[in-house]
Amino acid sequence: MAASTEPKEGPNAAFLIVKPMATAARQFVKSLVRPSTIVYPFERLEDPSFREEVKVESGHPIGVGPIWDNYRGVHALNIATCISCNLCAFSCPDLCIEMVTVPGGDPKHPKKCPQIDYGKCSYCGFCSDACPEGCLSMTTRYELSTPNRSEMIYSPQKLHEVFERKLPMNPIRLERPENEDAIRLDAPLCIGCNACSRDCPTSCITMVDTPKPTAKPGEKLPRRIWKEPVINDSDCVRCGTCISVCPKECLFWGTHP
């Protein structure tokens, strides 16, 4: 069952070196026509001319087809559609994303968009996978050298500039799973404080009135606002902001009904 590892090319010539020299000479003749080098600053692999099938016959193994669409390079951020949900920052394994305030939000709830430190980013693409609105995605741009360390920190505006340059973006976007966990309410704990509804980036939480129970004799009703959040699961992006702002820890992840 073991494969034969007998040398397929034995040294046949008495004087030694004919085969390797013939091989090198064949390569020499091949590459006289066109070596497989890409003259980089002038030719680029992402150019359309390299988007061909591998040219086995001519001996130039350059390019194996449309390889570039999926490449993970610099991010592009569409500030206009960003909902400040923080999901990118939470999903970053390298903690290179910081949410910074950008103009456009109201003073009470400032709009926050990701600022990415490319000195830390490992280009894993988890953030763009996590982005519920598709506003953060990865382009194929890779030239990022700079003499200044501080220039490697891309502010949201700079990321938006990348977006406006209409670079090719990763085409493969992941679908939302069918049965997704959703946020549920532990109703007896709720005090109706409106924090979740106020901070929800997609405004999918509405506060509805709950009937105030009548107090039994001797029982003291809790001091609370008699409202409860109702979460619209189809609009919810599952960012968990409401859970983190809830003062009573009454929101939690539950399974889909």
Partner 1 sequence: MGTDGGTGRMTSEEISGRLKEKLPEAVLAFEELPGTAGRVRFRAESALEVFRVVRSDLGYDHLSMVGGIDWVEEREVIYLVWSDLRRNYLLLSTRIAARDAHIESATPVWPSANWHEREAWEMVDIRFDHHPDLRHLLMPDGYAFHPLLRSFKLHEPEELEVKVRRV
Partner 2 sequence: MTVQSLYGVAALVAGGIAYLLPFLPPWLVTIIADVVFGAILLAASMINTIVLIWYERKLLGRFMDRRGAMHVGYAGLLQNFADGLKLFRKNTYKPREADSLGFYGGPTAYMVSSLVIFGILPISTGWDNGSLPLSLLLALVIFSFAPLFIFLSAWSSNNKYSLMGGMRSAAQMIAYEVPILIAVVAVVVLSGSFDLTTIVSEQRNYWFALPLFLALIVFVAGMLAEMERIPFDLPEAEAELVEGWNTEYGGMLFAFFMLADYLRALIGSILIVLLFLGGWTLPSYVPAALTSFPLAGIFWFMVKTYLVFGVFVWVRASLPRVRTDQLLRVGWMRMVPLALVSVLIAAAVVAAHCLPVLGCVPGLGS
Partner 3 sequence: MWINMGPQHPMTHGLWNLRVKIEGEIVKEIDPEMGFLHRGIEKISEDRHYNEVITLMDRTCYVAGIAWEHLYIQAAEQALHVTPPARALWIRVLCEEMQRIASHVMWYAAFVQDLGLMSPFLYGMRDRDLLLDHFQSFTGGRLTYEYMRVGGVRNDLPPGTTDRMRKTLDWLMDRFVEYDRLCMGSEIFRKRCDDLGVLKANDCIAYGVTGPMLRSAGVRRDLRKDRPYAIYDQVDFDMAIADSADVTGRYLVRMEEMRQSVRILRQVVDWLDKHPGPVMAPNLPRWLGAPYAPVGREGYLLKRNYPKGVGLSAIEEPHGEANAYVVNEGGEHPYRVKFRSPVYVNLSAAHKYLVGYHVADIPPIMGSVDVCVGEVDR
Cβ–Cβ < 8 Å for 249, 185: no
Kindly indicate which of the ranges 85-93, 103-111, 159-167, 213-221 contains the residues binding partner 3, using the contact rule CB under 8 A.
85-93
Q: What is the DSSP letter of 120?
A: T
Q: Considering only residues 28, 142, 252, 253, which one is a binding residue for partner 2 as defined by CB under 8 A?
A: 28
8 A C-beta contact, residue 114 and residue 77: yes
25 binds, among partner 1, partner 2, partner 3, none (CB under 5 to 8 A by kind): partner 2
CB 150 within 8 A of CB 118: no
Shortest CB 107 distance to partner 3, Å: 26
The answer to whether residue 54 forms part of the interface with partner 2 (CB under 8 A) is: no
DSSP string, 23-83: HHHHHHHHHHH--S---TTTS-TTSGGG-S--BTTTTB----SS-STT---SEEE-GGG--
- Beta-carbon contacts of 92 under 8 Å, excluding residues fewer than 6 positions away, are 121, 126, 127
- Least distance to partner 1, CB of residue 128, Å: 24
3-state SS class at 114: strand
Structure tokens, 236:
């919810």
Dihedral class, residue 238 (left if φ above 0, else alpha if ψ from -120 to 50, else beta)? left
Among candidate residues 139, 132, 130, the one with its CA nearest the CA of residue 160: 139
150 touches partner 1 by CB under 8 A: yes
CA angle 171, 172, 178 (to 5 degrees): 140
**Count of residues of this chain found to bind partner 3 when the rule CB under 8 A is applied:** 67
* Segment contacting partner 1 by CB under 8 A, of 35-43, 148-156, 193-201, 247-255: 148-156
Nearest distance in Å: CB 82, partner 2: 42
Check residue 144 for interaction with partner 1 (CB under 8 A). no
> Which is closer to partner 2, CB of 2 or CB of 13?
13
- Mark residues 104-143: x for contact with partner 3 by CB under 8 A, - for none: ------------------xxxxxx-xx-------x-----
> Binding marks (x or -) toward partner 1, 94..123, rule CB under 8 A?
-x----------------------------
Find which of partner 3, partner 1, partner 2, none residue 67 binds, CB within 5 to 8 Å per kind.
partner 3
Q: Name the site residues for partner 2 (rule: CB under 8 A).
A: 17, 20-21, 23-25, 27-28, 30-32, 35-37, 39
Applying CB under 8 A, the residues found at the interface with partner 1 are: 95, 148-150
